[in-house]
Each structure stands twice: as structure tokens, then as C-alpha cells.
Structure 1
Amino acid sequence: MDLLTSLRTHRIVAIVRGDDADAALRTVLTLVEEDLPLIEVSLSGKDALDVIRRARAALGPGAPLGAGTVLTSDDAHAVRDAGADFVVTPAVCEAVTEAKLLGLPVLAGVMTPTDIVAAQRLGADAFKIFPAAQAGGPGYLRALHGPFPDAPFVPVGGVDADAAGTYLAHGATAVGVGSPLISDAADGGSLEALRERARAFRDAVRAAAPADAGR
């Protein structure tokens, strides 16, 4: 899988975590139906590996299905075996190295320039700024592009539909979105409400400036 191309094409990573594995699977499939196909299933959700296996079986081999909250080497092996084809970490950790050894692209969690350099050395494909809102929002993203002008950044944390467009206009390659998009859908909440939120995010992305416009 070419993670960077997928990020540039779809521009939203939908982060699915919930307390109901069946509902989480339905959430994944609904997002794909609503043309938000770049999905991260977080290992912090209930029976996440089973959700990944079932989603892979339902979506087929070509869908960009990732696993999030991957921290350890064992996590990296487990998500690869479950069918994930990219890994998202919350930090620069051993899972970055192990996932790359397994041939999986990595969206590595970073906060500071030091984190970014460390993740680059380990071969991370893109950099998840987390938690983006607490780090300083779009202004912090724009500042990071000074020393790292070509780095593919994906802000995550506190990104609603309005903020998504702002981050993209400030040079984000994509944004990662959890609860503002998913809400309670992965716990058994309304899929129709999820569809409405998905359309709002999709519209915000389509209206956003190109990724380098805010630099």
C-alpha cells in the first residue's frame, strides 16, 4: 500500500474505536459507503483485531485499512496478521521500527521537532501531530512546515469539520478524525447520523485549499 498517496487522495483518516465490535464494523462499512475509505481501527476499541479481520474480509484486499494505537512489536505483528495494511502509532515507539520491518507503512505520532526527526530516522511514512488542538492548532502546523517543508503531516485530536478545512488550508496532507465524525456510531449509535456527519466532513475536504496553499 502507498500510504502517502492514499493520504493525499482521501485527506481524511477516519478513526474508529468503540465498545461494540459489531457496531464498529458497521461503522467502517458505512464510512466506506460514504466515500471516506481511509479507515483506522484503533486497538483501544473492543475486539479491535476481530473488527480488522472482518472489515478486511468484507472490503477485500484493495481497501486501505489501518490499525491505530499500535505501540509494541507484538501489536505490529498482530495487526498485520489481522489484515491491516498500514499502522498508526500514538508516539515514536518500537512499533514504528517493527511495522517497517514487516513492510507496513507507518503514520507515526509526533508532537515536537525532535519527535519528527526521530520518526524520520525510523522510516515513518507520515507524521501524526497529536494532540493537534493542544499542540497549538493550525498555527503550530504551519510553523512546523518551516523546518520540515516537505513532511506529510496529519493533525489528529479535536478536528471537527470546520477545523479539518483549516488544517488542510494550512498545509496538512490529511487530517485524522475520531469522535467528531464517529460519535457513538461504533457503540451502536445511529448510522444515519454518521452518514450526515461523513457528508459534512467530505464537503469540508472538497472545499479546502490544496495542501500547500497555507505555507
Structure 2
Amino acid sequence: MTTTCFSRPAFKSRVVPVIVLTDPSHAVPLAHALLEGGIDVMEITLRSDAALASIEAVAKAVPEMHLGAGTVTRVNEVQRVIDAGCTFALSPGCTDALVEAVKAAKLPFIPGVMTPGEVMHRREQGFSLMKLFPASQAGGMGMLKAMGAPIPDVSFCPTGGVSPENLKDFLRLPNVAMAGGSWLTPADALKAGDWAQITKLAREATALATA
């Protein structure tokens, strides 16, 4: 991925695990577990002090994994996640300053939006793939359907409230490119190093996404 505003990411999976890691030593086995389950992308969020070290570990050890830095909300985080080795970034929301920073750094970026006005603003800046967050609070599938008619040239990655129970329904929508969720990497499985459980969840999600 070489452009900042992209609509067709290089990864194949339509399910994006949203991950909070508190121990960098978990990062590489987690990446392998997800790959074994058919998921070739991971969003490691900047919600813990271990995030950058975790991104760096995966970038070095598992180059086939498409590695996103999530919860990028400040301009000064852009270069830090690039230096750690991420190949793209996502944000729960967005500011014009953040857009300027990712464009200057040529970092592929999925900006967070919640309203039609925000969608139109980011579209004017060149984005055609956006993160609807928090999806449930923003109106979920109803909001996505409503925006599809007046803004048909924008695709979304809904995150926040996506689950195995509604994943297929989200992915059936024509303006949903992929969906993100945290259920794939439960905290208890990470703490226990239960990589088999995570592979199982990844396989189940992959099956739902391709059904």
C-alpha cells in the first residue's frame, strides 16, 4: 500500500481483529494464530504501553501479516507507528491535523467517522474507506444503509458492536468492505497464551465472512 487514501487494502480478510496487548511477547504467537485461522490483518491499538513494542515485534517476525496501528489520535503518534513497522493506521475519529500528518508521511489511513457530515468531509480530503465508530452507537446497519444511497462511493469498516451474531449481516451491506471487532482476541485467551482458542475464533469468523 503506497497511497494515503485507499479503498482496497492489500489484505484478504474482511474481518479485522481489534487488539489490545499488554505484553509484547504475546504479539508474534498471536499473529501466527490469526494467520492459521485465515486472518491476515491485525489492528494493534495504541491503548497500552506495550502497543509499539508489539507492532515492532510482529513487523520483524511476521512480515506476511498486514499490520495496522489502531487508536491513532494524535499527530505525534504517526511517525512513531511508522517507525514501529505498521503498514497502515486507523483512528476512532479524525482531525484535519491528523489527516495532514498521515498524508505528509504517506501512511495509508482509515479515518474514523460517525455522521454523514464527517463522511463528506473526509471524502473531500480523498478518503473512500472509513471506519464507522462506534458503529452501534452511530446507528449500526441502519446508519450504513441510510448513507449508502446519498454517499454510494464510500465504503466502511464498522467497529464497535460487531459480533459473530451480526458479522454476516454487516458484511452483506454493499458499502461495508470489512468489519472490525475485539471478540477474536479475548483478554483471558491472551493472558493464558491460548493460541488454539484464538485460531478457532479466527476460523469461525473467516467462515462467517466467506459464507
TM above 0.5: yes
The correspondence for 1:29, drawn from 10, 23, 32, is: 32
Residue of structure 1 equivalent to 2:65 = 63
How far apart, in 2, do the equivalents of 1:132 and 1:27 lie? 25
Residue of structure 2 equivalent to 1:14 = 17
Q: 1:53 to 1:181 in 2, by over 3 A?
A: same
How many Å apart are 1:160 and its aligned residue? 1.0
Residue of structure 2 equivalent to 1:79 = 81
Residue of structure 1 equivalent to 2:202 = 198
Q: Percent identity?
A: 30
SS at match of 1:176: strand
Q: 1:85 to 1:110 in 2, by over 3 A?
A: same
Unaligned runs of 5+ in 1: 208-215
CA contact (8 A) 1:7 1:173 kept: no
Residue identity opposite 2:85 in structure 1: G
Q: 1:41 to 1:122 in 2, by over 3 A?
A: same
How many Å apart are 1:169 and its aligned residue? 0.8
Residue identity opposite 1:132 in structure 2: A
Q: 1:89 to 1:189 in 2, by over 3 A?
A: same
CA contact (8 A) 1:89 1:96 kept: no
SS at match of 1:90: coil
Query: Which shows bigger deviation, 116-125 or 95-104?
Result: 116-125
How far apart, in 1, do the equivalents of 2:10 and 2:164 lie? 17
Residue of structure 2 equivalent to 1:176 = 180
How many Å apart are 1:68 and its aligned residue? 0.5
Alignment map for 1:80-119 (pairs within 5 Å): 80-93=82-95, 94-119=97-122
How many Å apart are 1:124 and its aligned residue? 3.1
Residue identity opposite 1:65 in structure 2: L
TM-score (structure 2 length as normaliser): 0.89
How many Å apart are 1:121 and its aligned residue? 2.9
Residue of structure 2 equivalent to 1:147 = 150
Query: Which shows bigger deviation, 35-44 or 93-102?
Result: 93-102
How many Å apart are 1:125 and its aligned residue? 4.6
How many Å apart are 1:45 and its aligned residue? 2.8
Q: 1:128 to 1:156 in 2, by over 3 A?
A: same
How many Å apart are 1:27 and its aligned residue? 1.7
CA contact (8 A) 1:75 1:95 kept: no
Count matched residues: 205
Determine which structure has the larger helix proportion and give its number: 1
How many Å apart are 1:9 and its aligned residue? 3.4
1:18-76 deviation digits (Å, cap 9, x = unpaired): 2222224322231122220111110113311111111000122x532110000112101
Unaligned runs of 5+ in 2: none
